[in-house]
A = this chain, B = another copy of it.
Amino acid sequence: MGKNVAIAGVTGAVGQELLRIIEERKFPFSSMKMLASERSVGKKIDFMGKTYTVELLTTDSFKGIDIALFSAGGQRSKEFAAAAVKAGAVVIDNSSAFRMDPEVPLVIPEINAGDIKKHKGIIANPNCSTIIAIVPVWPLHKANPVKRMVVSTYQAASGAGQSAMLEMVEQAREVLADKPVTCKVLKYQLAFNLYCHDSKIGDNGYNEEEMKLLNETRKIFHAPDIAITGTCVRVPVLRTHCESINLEFTNPITPDEVRAILAKAPGVSIIDDRKANRFPMPLDATGRDDCYVGRIRQDISLPGNRGINIWVAGDQIRKGAALNAIQIAELL
């Protein structure tokens, strides 16, 4: 008894990854509807032995659909999610449109799968850099509440979409050929350069990406008081985010305790070989499901052994978006 599934934004980087993961994980579907905006209507997509034609995303797209996976940007989620819910579908939304809506569960299955039950038609998928940061932090927080996190990110081009990835590669070719660099999708040159995340900056000086890290973590952890400061940076990497995370705990904690907790944590793999100087890199995480953790050490700047540093790498398109959405769908 499979589900009738629709994917809104199927031609994007996350949409394509959703298809790959549905196939890999043998997600039980009995029908698949591929939706996108005008630009992509009529495109053919081969998927699991069948050829699908991309249809236009409209308010009428969801008749008979059980699960609607939205990854077509916040504007389209706002425009079409209600129609999908009205038609009887459960929407799993990858945009930021509903994440902070108190009526909408914001879910990372490894952390707060129980929140799914509270949904009223929409379940929100958290932001990529939030997911990758907090999958490994959650089991530590459960054992010893985290009081404060200081996070600096190294975010891949994929976070800005498939066209950003292609442009970054094109920019690299242009730099190597000594040609002027094209910036149509990316705000600045990203190849052989990097820049602070170019989402809108609020009155407090934080950009939206950094505020997501704070607000989404509080909601997912059910920890309204956890203190977080983030600095989000785009780096010339294709599709894996890395994050340097400094954690201050309520009680003393050692690197060995952290390692023991993370070794048993779902969705986490450890690469932490000090002797060989081998720690998680984007290339390790790309195409993989887990968040990779290394550089596990005592923060020598905090008294009483209450600080720990970790370094995390996770595939932005996969665990940062598509995989997390399919995991939610599986729980439904």
Stretch of A6-14, A38-46, A63-71, A274-282 with 4 or more beta carbons under 8 angstroms from chain B: A274-282
Across the interface, A281 reaches (CB within 8 A) one of B188, B296, B297, namely B188
Stretch of A18-26, A91-99, A301-309, A319-327 with 4 or more beta carbons under 8 angstroms from chain B: A301-309
Most buried by B among A214, A275, A282, A294: A282
> Does A261 reach chain B (CB closer than 8 Å)?
no
Q: Are A148 and B296 in contact (CB under 8 A)?
A: no
CB neighbours of A189 from chain B (8 A): 281, 283
CB neighbours of A120 from chain B (8 A): none
A237–B194 Cα distance when bound, in Å, is 8
Q: Are A148 and B229 in contact (CB under 8 A)?
A: no
Across the interface, A294 reaches (CB within 8 A) one of B150, B196, B200, B237, namely B196
**Closest-CB distance, A191 to chain B (whole angstroms):** 8
A204–B255 Cα distance when bound, in Å, is 10
A107–B118 Cα distance when bound, in Å, is 60
Question: A96-124 vs B: 1/0 string, CB under 8 Å?
Answer: 00000000000000000000000000000
> Does A263 reach chain B (CB closer than 8 Å)?
no
This chain: copies in complex = 2
> Does A89 reach chain B (CB closer than 8 Å)?
no
Across the interface, A246 reaches (CB within 8 A) one of B150, B173, B236, B282, namely B150
A227–B246 Cα distance when bound, in Å, is 14
**Closest-CB distance, A306 to chain B (whole angstroms):** 12
Question: A126-168 vs B: 1/0 string, CB under 8 Å?
Answer: 0000000000000000000000111010100000000000000
> Does A195 reach chain B (CB closer than 8 Å)?
yes
Q: Are A187 and B277 in contact (CB under 8 A)?
A: yes
**Closest-CB distance, A302 to chain B (whole angstroms):** 7
Q: Are A205 and B295 in contact (CB under 8 A)?
A: yes
CB neighbours of A244 from chain B (8 A): 152, 231, 233, 244
Across the interface, A204 reaches (CB within 8 A) one of B214, B237, B246, B298, namely B298
Most buried by B among A148, A195, A242, A255: A195
**Closest-CB distance, A157 to chain B (whole angstroms):** 9
> Does A176 reach chain B (CB closer than 8 Å)?
yes
Q: Which of A224-248 contact B (CB under 8 A)?
A: 227-229, 231, 233, 235-238, 242, 244, 246
**A-B residue pairs in contact (CB < 8 Å), sample of 24:** A149-B301, A150-B301, A154-B154, A172-B172, A172-B176, A187-B277, A188-B283, A189-B283, A192-B236, A192-B237, A193-B283, A194-B281, A196-B277, A196-B279, A200-B277, A204-B298, A207-B277, A227-B302, A229-B301, A229-B309, A231-B311, A233-B244, A236-B236, A244-B244
Q: A195-B281, A231-B295 are in contact. List 10 more A-B contacts (CB 8 A).
A: A148-B301, A154-B154, A154-B235, A189-B281, A196-B279, A201-B277, A204-B300, A229-B302, A233-B244, A235-B236
